[in-house]
Amino acid sequence: MKEYCGIFGIYNNPNAAYYTYLGLYALQHRGQESAGIAVTDGNRIDYHRDFGLVFSVFNSERLNSLTGHVAIGHNRYSTSGASDSPDNVQPIVVSYKLGQMAIAHNGNLVNAWELREKLEDEGSIFRGTTDSEVIVHLIVKSKKRRFLERLMDALSKLKGAYSLLVMTNKKLIAIRDPWGFRPLCMGELDGSPVFASETCAFDLIGAKYIRDVEPGEVVLIENGEMKSYRIPAFESAKRSQCIFEFVYFARPDSKIFGRSVYEVRKAFGRKLAKEHPVDADVVIPVPDSGVVPSLGYSQESGIPFELGLIRNHYVGRTFIKPQQKMRDIGVKVKLNPVPELLKGKRVVVIDDSIVRGTTSRKIVRMIREAGAKEVHMRISSPPTKWPCYFGIDTPTKDQLIASTHSVDEICRYIEADSLGYLSIEGMIEAAGGSWEDYCTACFDGNYPVDIPETVVRQAKKE
Amino acid sequence: MKEYCGIFGIYNNPNAAYYTYLGLYALQHRGQESAGIAVTDGNRIDYHRDFGLVFSVFNSERLNSLTGHVAIGHNRYSTSGASDSPDNVQPIVVSYKLGQMAIAHNGNLVNAWELREKLEDEGSIFRGTTDSEVIVHLIVKSKKRRFLERLMDALSKLKGAYSLLVMTNKKLIAIRDPWGFRPLCMGELDGSPVFASETCAFDLIGAKYIRDVEPGEVVLIENGEMKSYRIPAFESAKRSQCIFEFVYFARPDSKIFGRSVYEVRKAFGRKLAKEHPVDADVVIPVPDSGVVPSLGYSQESGIPFELGLIRNHYVGRTFIKPQQKMRDIGVKVKLNPVPELLKGKRVVVIDDSIVRGTTSRKIVRMIREAGAKEVHMRISSPPTKWPCYFGIDTPTKDQLIASTHSVDEICRYIEADSLGYLSIEGMIEAAGGSWEDYCTACFDGNYPVDIPETVVRQAKKE
Amino acid sequence: MKEYCGIFGIYNNPNAAYYTYLGLYALQHRGQESAGIAVTDGNRIDYHRDFGLVFSVFNSERLNSLTGHVAIGHNRYSTSGASDSPDNVQPIVVSYKLGQMAIAHNGNLVNAWELREKLEDEGSIFRGTTDSEVIVHLIVKSKKRRFLERLMDALSKLKGAYSLLVMTNKKLIAIRDPWGFRPLCMGELDGSPVFASETCAFDLIGAKYIRDVEPGEVVLIENGEMKSYRIPAFESAKRSQCIFEFVYFARPDSKIFGRSVYEVRKAFGRKLAKEHPVDADVVIPVPDSGVVPSLGYSQESGIPFELGLIRNHYVGRTFIKPQQKMRDIGVKVKLNPVPELLKGKRVVVIDDSIVRGTTSRKIVRMIREAGAKEVHMRISSPPTKWPCYFGIDTPTKDQLIASTHSVDEICRYIEADSLGYLSIEGMIEAAGGSWEDYCTACFDGNYPVDIPETVVRQAKKE
Amino acid sequence: MKEYCGIFGIYNNPNAAYYTYLGLYALQHRGQESAGIAVTDGNRIDYHRDFGLVFSVFNSERLNSLTGHVAIGHNRYSTSGASDSPDNVQPIVVSYKLGQMAIAHNGNLVNAWELREKLEDEGSIFRGTTDSEVIVHLIVKSKKRRFLERLMDALSKLKGAYSLLVMTNKKLIAIRDPWGFRPLCMGELDGSPVFASETCAFDLIGAKYIRDVEPGEVVLIENGEMKSYRIPAFESAKRSQCIFEFVYFARPDSKIFGRSVYEVRKAFGRKLAKEHPVDADVVIPVPDSGVVPSLGYSQESGIPFELGLIRNHYVGRTFIKPQQKMRDIGVKVKLNPVPELLKGKRVVVIDDSIVRGTTSRKIVRMIREAGAKEVHMRISSPPTKWPCYFGIDTPTKDQLIASTHSVDEICRYIEADSLGYLSIEGMIEAAGGSWEDYCTACFDGNYPVDIPETVVRQAKKE
Ligand SMILES: Nc1ncnc2c1ncn2[C@@H]1O[C@H](COP(=O)(O)OP(=O)(O)O)[C@@H](O)[C@H]1O
Ligand SMILES: Nc1ncnc2c1ncn2[C@@H]1O[C@H](COP(=O)(O)OP(=O)(O)O)[C@@H](O)[C@H]1O
Ligand SMILES: Nc1ncnc2c1ncn2[C@@H]1O[C@H](COP(=O)(O)OP(=O)(O)O)[C@@H](O)[C@H]1O
Ligand SMILES: Nc1ncnc2c1ncn2[C@@H]1O[C@H](COP(=O)(O)OP(=O)(O)O)[C@@H](O)[C@H]1O
Ligand code: SF4
Ligand code: SF4
Ligand code: SF4
Ligand code: SF4
Ligand SMILES: [Mg+2]
Ligand SMILES: [Mg+2]
Ligand SMILES: [Mg+2]
Ligand SMILES: [Mg+2]
């Protein structure tokens, strides 16, 4: 049910589908399970979508067949390896009373099941299991007459995270939930408005970043005109941009929430160095997410930075595991130490977060086996103690080691000589903001939206 | 929009999915574009479906993962080579107020668009373009409380051809439209009720044929009990079983509409020999559809039967066409004459029908080039003058040569020495029935259901 | 090691590769495991080959890239389901002292291992396991200077069956072994010489059949001129054309060994009716190999012919077998009876041969279960008692039921009411020839070439 | 004809094939076009190989079928995108006089064509176009009796680069050419000898690095015993280990030629900083090859290191190019700048080498467009002026910009504010060796082996 995704949209461009392809390619890190593009020529929405990476889902024949001037695209991440239904692949394209509509959704609604039940009670039919179908049904079911009213009506019922692109044969609409959980950027390419989860998509196509779609904003483009509206019901919603996007998810060359991911991530590392200094000989990252904070830590502490762990570029899903009688190759499939850098050294190793602790433990051991004298683990975010219900895949509370163990205990478990987490205050400060700006629920349990009991239970069962 | 299909269902069998696989395999001739199986264990409907032949859509891993005691399956035929939406692949599986439901549909509704518009007006959302989605929505939208009532309510609105299998987590329901256009047979395997479009599916799994689902009948199985109901609205609907199933579509080793396809098809040939005798040396079929009527013609006329045209077993969609400058290889990709059988002979060649006339013309020429002295074409059905709106793919009226040309003109066009069609009366008599039993609309224009103007226009545009 | 194959070659035609593609397509029944085409433009041999049917190995891009005026092609049959080495896929293309050479081979050498050992002793290196590599090495190793002399030198060492097409950058050579085991036909297309295993390949491309390449003949085309030579060593070799090609292997619309397969096969049926008449109501074939002899039996005996067993067109390798606890579906995957034709009838059922007897037994049972009163099996060839070492896949002696059981015992084993085989004399007579013309070794053990002990032992082990 | 490759071998281990799979996986960066494993159980060599990455060529079924205690594997890099012949995929497995032999080869022979011609003159037949086939033929053609003698005989004829693994049913042999161009390391896993192109393969399987196979050494393992021999003919060959392996090709976490690639690469960067200092604000690498030298440059110069260019992880061959009318997206498909790091800065950007100069020019422009005030390009190797004939793919002389332009001219061409290359002396010193140790021919034209005129000409034509 969790939905990490990358979304992209473009209005009024003769190469709409191709630019969407490029945009999705730049956003591939946000979702590798499926990809899709829907395009309209003003009369008919056409689409292609399938499981796989962007470049395997599309070939030039397929892409060229998607003619039209407006397009939206979607990359999807699967939280489990389990095979998923083709009915869940986005963009969803439907036909209803007012014509055709396509939708691409990044986020996770906390009241999706509740809404779904109500909708089913009123006669709605669902084919897949994604939240996105709920949104479509709400729009269609609305008693309002005009499309925009229907849309507003629908949005006013949604609780949780959603960055949305909606396309009809005449309109392109970009929407961000009132809390602003997920990023959504607006840009411009040769006069065409473009939208993307992260600005790295704009860079690839040569578009200019204009501004973010604001939390609670509905940007509607029609007849070449752009208008901005606000989702009515939640005027007082606390701005709650997902700080974890900075920590881990977004690409460092992107700008999200108006800030450079790279700069924020490096500031995390600097702050971490101040909060948890240590006498050491070398700072090494767990690549790739640890690289940028490591640079910050190194610069702040003056301890030299080295690439002490090299990541295999060819890690893939289809790796054949060793049989049980053979020794476990564990994390080595992905990472290999450079012993010359580590032998006899006091090593600071930096990762973005610790979830279950098992990987960190393997990494610490690997560094020690490569000859390190001391291994000091530093984490560029606070202890992850609470599950996320807003679209980032985290396990349930009892599986989060920080939820059940003290920092000391974790340190012992992962067999490090010391362990230091960034503080929440430090993180927020480094992110250049205030408590007013960010969601930090996975660190402090302050969920900006009430989480229904059923959702909590549901998450546990999965 | 046209839907040729094969459907299969089984209730209460530990190998439900595997038997459905076998059933679809036996019914492969009814649809080669996509295949799917949905199965329930009483709590949850699981399914797998994809484009391709049954044996390429399923492998043993996939099949084994479909555990449950009740299953339905579907083979689909695409009338165009055009790539189709995955949203149209069946069985359709949906979730709604009362739970999950899967549906497999063979046939074509004449009021689908009308119903669809009404449904969309009332807030229904469509993902694909098949009629089958309309049925699902009607069931869900019904104001009735119990499932059976809802179903009856929905069925009472449908006009046109439908043989349906509907599965919920507790029920399996087999339905045939009030006219009985498409076949649907009921059988039994070790106490398990089974349903299939044709009995050849029963033969493969070793099931016993019990009887047909009657036109207008709803057979509902629940808690191990089978009950029969009638679709209320159409008590007086004229029984209109598609006689063309006998002529061409069904497998000769099947029983449909209570009769052996082989016997009926041979009777067509015998009758044809009586209606259009000719002095000749040899009777040859256009394989495979012409084989059985040729045997009838040969036995009645005493003219020896030979396999004068050999069909290549490996004909496939991916054949690379010759370039324009090369000579046309036409029908030879599929058929090759045996000149020794034809040289200097007066040949009767028998096919099931003539659509545009171009293939028949090529066949006549090929036989003549192989040395035949005379070529007499005989057709085991009457001239095809009207399009079918009940699920058999025929071109529009103006493309049907018999609609715009007399038999004499057709004979000249295909360059035959003589041409004889089976009469409508002869066909019905040979099918062992009366006007009361069969649809013959493609031959005489007497559509048993009124065809809305929009449908006629629509068909023309396609 | 067994090599059933189809081969095709064309000289001096601008569409050489495409015609070869068509030729292989028409010869697909002679080999479904792999396909390949080699083409030369006079300077360089290019090729493409892979596992799979002709139409899946080639797409238009691949085919268009094979430019040149001379081409040879090869279809290969695998005797086992076992996965085979790509090094065995033909045509084999090599580079050696005199330049490049491509070779396509149909047949089986009885002294291949012996020659191979000698060649290895002299320093030859083998990559695959096919006989065809032996031929290439012999040509290359020959001490003779000119290509033709080398070739003759090589051929004079070969014992066994080979129809060969050899292509260099300048020459196309067609060769048939001195015994003439396998067919090889010569034709002409718009002035271009063409060669094919069977004439059905000529029919598809519109080429004219000229004559057979004679046993022991070497037809060499160079500079547009065709010359004929004889393989020197075996002047007195007994002509031994494989009569089993008529019985089973060749397509009925082909001409091989100068005769129509259809006519010969029907004559087998007629003769069978004379040798083994029976009072019966209906004659049915085991399709497809039994169809033509059944027509002969029916015409001779006056007992009506019917298609009492219908063959599923979609039989494929990937069929998922039922699990052991389920009932065996045996031969039903392939064949289904038409009970209406069999009920209460005395049935004559005709097949081309009986190998182990297990299939025949299942067929007899199936016919009886469909209601037949009596089942009389008739076989359109003599009892298969000896293995073939000349390229037709037969099991070892001890697995051939006719080798260890009398006709009466076989009749009882297959549970037939009577069983009749065609006599050797009858078969030869029906094939329109004399003992001088045909190999009949699998029926009488008179191998026209001595079979080395090692080959016999080898065959047993496999 | 160029052959970059990764090779791996293991002796006497029950999981030989699986460890070889892992080894190839760790060596994937040395060749992505094809992969193969050959294994022997002492009696028979079995193998599987195909085009594709290691994890797509092998699945667990395939891997499990490769049973045996000795195995060798090969990854191959294709220098052109052109489709290549399956006859070239390694390991090559052949059968000859003394039995079976498998061979995996990394390197490029300069006298391959010469040897091939001679071999063809003597009757050898070649199926593919790789040098490796030449080696096999030389072994087989040798007049010597014992295998080792034959091998030595063959090796004494080879000129150029080869690291070889040869496997027979009883032996595993690891060989490095007398100059030692390509790396080949020896290790040990639970008592089993293992060999690999780079030590990163040992790390993944948990093997211990023992030492390098020495230039000119033949390590033969048989009956569990390891013996070392020297290739006789070239006692005086100058040790010429490819220094470019350090610059670019090897993985930084590997040890080759007895040294840590990471340390050498970093020393290149330090030396470069000394030789070409510059007043600047930030040092950024062109990832990935520029990362480690950048760290050296940064540490030496004190200018902070940043990841100013982010590399897209999903770059693949199948990327659909924009159509001509659209603006060129050039190097952006692969790299994206982080403008916040570059704006208003004086930037040092470090890459490993400049070949044609076009990519460097695009990178400089991209950095400038991202706001850099100055762009100083530094290259961690000397100007590449000469083609490599020893297995590294470089274009011909006239395409190498440094061959035809001065450093100043190149600087202007790539639009940099300054350009500095590492000196040859600096490079050798940083590599911790002397002129006695390394090949530097691509930088100074001093080829350690005479390059035949034909090879030079051939390279030009390709
Ligand atoms: N080319 C890159 N260079 C540096 N960081 C990257 C790059 N691409 C992605 N990233 C960052 O790395 C994150 C992925 O972290 P990584 O540690 O590689 O994943 P995981 O720990 O899940 O295997 C991305 O979401 C992004 O923030
Ligand atoms: N094995 C078979 N033997 C004889 N007839 C068959 C067989 N399988 C299918 N048929 C009949 O042939 C029909 C297909 O006719 P055919 O002439 O082969 O198709 P088309 O003319 O469309 O190419 C089937 O629908 C069925 O009635
Ligand atoms: N289209 C055809 N019609 C009739 N006979 C055919 C046709 N194609 C092939 N044959 C004949 O049938 C033979 C194959 O016999 P069949 O009984 O189908 O195979 P098997 O018994 O091995 O399954 C072919 O080699 C050929 O002689
Ligand atoms: N995970 C890694 N981290 C750092 N460097 C790597 C890594 N993997 C490979 N390398 C180095 O990068 C080289 C490839 O350089 P790169 O610049 O990525 O290629 P190219 O310039 O050809 O696109 C490898 O041969 C190796 O030396
Ligand atoms: S709970 Fe954590 S991961 Fe989820 S939105 Fe809030 S900050 Fe982001
Ligand atoms: S119109 Fe013809 S094809 Fe259609 S249902 Fe009636 S009889 Fe059948
Ligand atoms: S032994 Fe039989 S199958 Fe073999 S060549 Fe002779 S006749 Fe043909
Ligand atoms: S020429 Fe250059 S790339 Fe080639 S081996 Fe020598 S140093 Fe290495
Ligand atoms: Mg990480
Ligand atoms: Mg037909
Ligand atoms: Mg047969
Ligand atoms: Mg690089």
Amino acid C125: pLDDT: 92
Tell which residue, C153, C174, C173, has the closest CA to residue C163. C174
D88 shares its domain with D145: yes
Annotated ligand binding at A411? The verdict is no
- Amino acid, single-letter form, for residue C320: I
pLDDT (average), residues C348-373 = 97
Number of domains in chain D: 2
List the catalytic residues of D. Answer: 5
Question: Tokens for B165?
Answer: 């299998």
**What count of other Cβ atoms lies within 10 Å of the Cβ of residue B325?**
7
Q: Do B123 and A96 touch (CB under 8 A)?
A: yes
**What count of other Cβ atoms lies within 10 Å of the Cβ of residue D292?**
27
How would you label C426-453 residue by residue, b for 16+ Cβ within 10 Å and e otherwise?
bbbebbebeeebbbbbbbeeebbbebbe
Give the C-alpha separation, D265 to D430, whole Å: 8
- CATH code at D307? 3.40.50.2020
DSSP string, C6-40: EEEEE-S-TTHHHHHHHHHHHTGGG--SEEEEEEE
Strands C282-285 and C346-351: parallel
Peptide bond into C288 cis (omega under 30): yes
Round the average pLDDT of chain C to a whole number and report it: 93
Q: Mark which of D197, D220, D237 sits at the end of a domain.
A: D237
Residue C249 in any domain: the answer is no
CA of A25 to the centre of ligand 1 (A): 15
Residues of C in contact with D153 (CB under 8 A): none
Question: Tokens for C378?
Answer: 């008739």
pLDDT tens figures, B96-117: 999 999 999 999 999 999 999 9
Give the C-alpha separation, A208 to B170, whole Å: 56
Q: Given the structure tokens 């021999």, which residue do they identify?
A: D229
Question: Tokens for B348?
Answer: 């009767």
Annotated ligand binding at A442? The verdict is yes
Tell whether C59 is within 8 A of chain B (Cβ). yes
B417 shares its domain with B453: yes
B114 shares its domain with B43: yes
Tell which residue, C171, C339, D231, has the closest CA to residue B262. C339
Average pLDDT, consecutive stretches of 10 residues, N- to C-terminus, chain D (462 residues): 81 96 96 94 94 90 93 81 67 93 95 93 88 93 93 96 97 97 97 97 97 98 96 87 97 97 98 98 97 98 98 81 77 94 98 96 97 98 96 88 97 98 97 91 96 83 64
Annotated ligand binding at B185? The verdict is no
Residues of A in contact with D307 (CB under 8 A): 252, 262, 291-292, 295
C371: left (phi over 0), alpha (psi -120 to 50) or beta: left
Tell whether C96 is within 8 A of chain D (Cβ). yes
Give the C-alpha separation, B131 to D296, whole Å: 68
Annotated ligand binding at B351? The verdict is yes
pLDDT at C4 over 90: no
Give the C-alpha separation, C459 to C58, whole Å: 34
Segment 243-282 of chain A within 8 Å of chain B by CB:
none
Tell whether C118 is within 8 A of chain D (Cβ). no
Amino acid D82: pLDDT: 38
Report the alpha-carbon angle A171-A176-A180, nearest 5.
170
Q: Given the structure tokens 């391959």, which residue do they identify?
A: D112
Q: What is the 3-state secondary structure (H, E, C) of chain D?
A: CCCEEEEEEECCCCCHHHHHHHHHHHCHHHCCCEEEEEEECCCCEEEEEEECCHHHHCCHHHHHCCCCCEEEEEEEECCCCCCCCHHHCCCEEEEECCEEEEEEEECCECCHHHHHHHHHHCCCCECCCCHHHHHHHHHHHCCCCCHHHHHHHHHCCCCECCEEEEEECCEEEEEECCCCCCCCEEEEECCEEEEECCCHHHHHHCCEEEEECCCCEEEEEECCEEEEEECHHHCCCCCCEECHHHHHHCCCCCEECCEEHHHHHHHHHHHHHHHCCCCCCEEEECCCCCHHHHHHHHHHHCCCECCCEEECCCCCCCCCCCCCCCCCCHHHHCEEECHHHHCCCEEEEEECCCCCCHHHHHHHHHHHHCCCCEEEEEECCCCCCCCCCCCCCCCCHHHCHHHHCCHHHHHHHCCCCEEEECCHHHHHHHCCCCCCCEECHHHHCCCCCCCCHHHHHHHHHC
pLDDT (average), residues A410-437 = 95
List subunits contacting chain A, requiring 3 or more Cβ pairs under 8 Å.
Answer: B, D
Residue D82 in any domain: the answer is yes
Give the rounded percent of residues in chain C with a pLDDT score beyond 70.
97
Residue C47 in any domain: the answer is yes
Annotated ligand binding at D351? The verdict is yes
D292 shares its domain with D186: no
> Residue C173 burial by CB count (10 A; 0-12/13-18/19+): exposed, middle or buried?
buried
Q: Do D125 and C93 touch (CB under 8 A)?
A: no
Q: Do C126 and D94 touch (CB under 8 A)?
A: yes
Q: Which of B87-101, B286-300, B303-317 has the highest mean pLDDT?
A: B286-300
Question: Tokens for B66?
Answer: 């479909």
- CATH code at B79? 3.60.20.10
Contact B262, B201 (CB under 8 A): no
Helices B453-461 and B112-121, interaxial angle, to 10°?
100
Distances (CA, A) of A456 to A109, A110, A384: 13, 10, 17
Can you name the residues that pair with A172 across neighbouring β-strands?
Answer: A167, A221
pLDDT tens figures, C64-83: 999 999 999 999 986 533 34
Q: Given the structure tokens 């930030």, which residue do they identify?
A: D282
Residues of D in contact with A294 (CB under 8 A): none
Q: In what order do the strands lie in the sheet with C34-40?
A: C45-51, C34-40, C70-77, C4-10, C192-196, C185-189, C208-212
C338 closest CB neighbour out of B28, B260, B338: B260
pLDDT tens figures, B68-104: 999 999 999 865 333 467 778 899 999 999 999 999 9
For A321, name the nearest residue in chain D, comparing CA atoms only: D60
Q: Do A204 and D319 touch (CB under 8 A)?
A: no
Give the C-alpha separation, D321 to D334, whole Å: 13
Ligand nearest to the CA of C382: 7
Question: Best mutation site among A288, A294, A312, A313 for ligand 4, i.e. most ligand atoms within 8 A of its Cβ?
Answer: A313
Mutate which of C18, C261, C310 to test chain B, going by most B C-beta atoms within 10 A?
C310
Mutate which of D33, D338, D342, D369 to test chain A, going by most A C-beta atoms within 10 A?
D338
C289 shares its domain with C165: no
Q: Do A322 and D251 touch (CB under 8 A)?
A: no
Tell whether B302 is within 8 A of chain C (Cβ). no
pLDDT (average), residues A207-231 = 97
CA atoms within 13 A on the CB side of B226: 17
Q: How close is the nearest chain D Cα to the Cα of A75, in Å?
A: 13
Q: Given the structure tokens 């280990």, which residue do they identify?
A: D241
A127 closest CB neighbour out of B94, B120, B121: B94
| E strand map for B28-91 | 34-40, 45-51, 70-77
pLDDT at A379 over 60: yes
D346 shares its domain with D393: yes
| Three-class secondary structure of residue A161 per DSSP | strand
D357: left (phi over 0), alpha (psi -120 to 50) or beta: left
Residues of C in contact with B60 (CB under 8 A): 320
Residue D170 in any domain: the answer is yes
Q: How close is the nearest chain D Cα to the Cα of A21, in Å?
A: 9
Q: Report the nearest-CA residue for atom 5 of ligand 3.
A: C288
Question: Tokens for C95?
Answer: 């580079």
For C56, name the nearest residue in chain B, comparing CA atoms only: B318
DSSP string, B229-266: EE-GGGTTPPP-EETHIIIIIS-TT-EETTEEHHHHHH
Residue C322 in any domain: the answer is no
Mean pLDDT lowest for which of A210-214, C240-244, C434-438, D36-40?
C434-438
pLDDT (average), residues B205-214 = 97
Amino acid D436: pLDDT: 87
C162 shares its domain with C304: no
List, chain by chain if needed, residues with CB within 6 Å of any ligand 2 atom. B 29, 248-252, 288-289, 291; C 310-311, 313
> Among the atoms of ligand 7, which is closest to the Cα of residue C387?
1
Give the C-alpha separation, B157 to B232, whole Å: 10
> Among the atoms of ligand 7, which is closest to the Cα of residue C243?
7
A96 shares its domain with A134: yes
Q: How close is the nearest chain B Cα to the Cα of A458, in Å?
A: 16
Annotated ligand binding at A185? The verdict is no
Q: Do C126 and D93 touch (CB under 8 A)?
A: no
List, chain by chain if needed, residues with CB within 6 Å of any ligand 4 atom. A 310-311, 313; D 29, 248-252, 288-289, 291
For D27, name the nearest residue in chain A, comparing CA atoms only: A312
Can you name the residues that pair with D36 across neighbouring β-strands?
Answer: D49, D74
List the catalytic residues of A. Answer: 5
pLDDT tens figures, C293-346: 999 999 999 999 999 999 998 887 677 888 777 777 888 999 999 999 999 999
Q: Do C206 and B323 touch (CB under 8 A)?
A: no
Segment 144-173 of chain B within 8 Å of chain A by CB:
none
Give the C-alpha separation, B170 to B221, whole Å: 9
Give the C-alpha separation, C195 to C205, whole Å: 12
Peptide bond into A252 cis (omega under 30): no
How would you label B25-63 residue by residue, b for 16+ Cβ within 10 Å and e otherwise?
bbbbbbbbbbbbbbbbeeeebbbbbebebbbebbeeebb
CA of A176 to the centre of ligand 5 (A): 16
Residue A245 in any domain: the answer is no
Contact A439, A388 (CB under 8 A): no
Q: Which domain holds residue A45?
A: 5-237
C121 shares its domain with C54: yes
D11 shares its domain with D90: yes
Residues of B in contact with A92 (CB under 8 A): 127
Residue C389 in any domain: the answer is yes
Amino acid C83: pLDDT: 45
Q: Report the nearest-CA residue for atom 1 of ligand 1.
A: D311
Annotated binding site of C for [4Fe-4S] cluster: 242, 388, 439, 442
Residue C254 in any domain: the answer is no
Q: How close is the nearest chain A Cα to the Cα of B70, in Å?
A: 20
For B124, name the nearest residue in chain A, comparing CA atoms only: A96
Amino acid B175: pLDDT: 98
D194 shares its domain with D297: no
Tell whether A140 is within 8 A of chain B (Cβ). yes
Tell which residue, A312, A180, A296, A302, has the closest CA to residue A234. A180
> Among the atoms of ligand 2, which is closest to the Cα of residue C312?
1
pLDDT tens figures, C31-51: 988 999 999 999 999 999 988
pLDDT (average), residues A310-321 = 82
B40 shares its domain with B78: yes
Give the C-alpha separation, A99 to A87, whole Å: 20
Separation of first and last alpha carbons in chain B: 9
A125 closest CB neighbour out of B86, B121, B137: B137
Tell whether D126 is within 8 A of chain C (Cβ). yes
Question: Tokens for C16?
Answer: 């050489």
CA of B286 to the centre of ligand 2 (A): 10
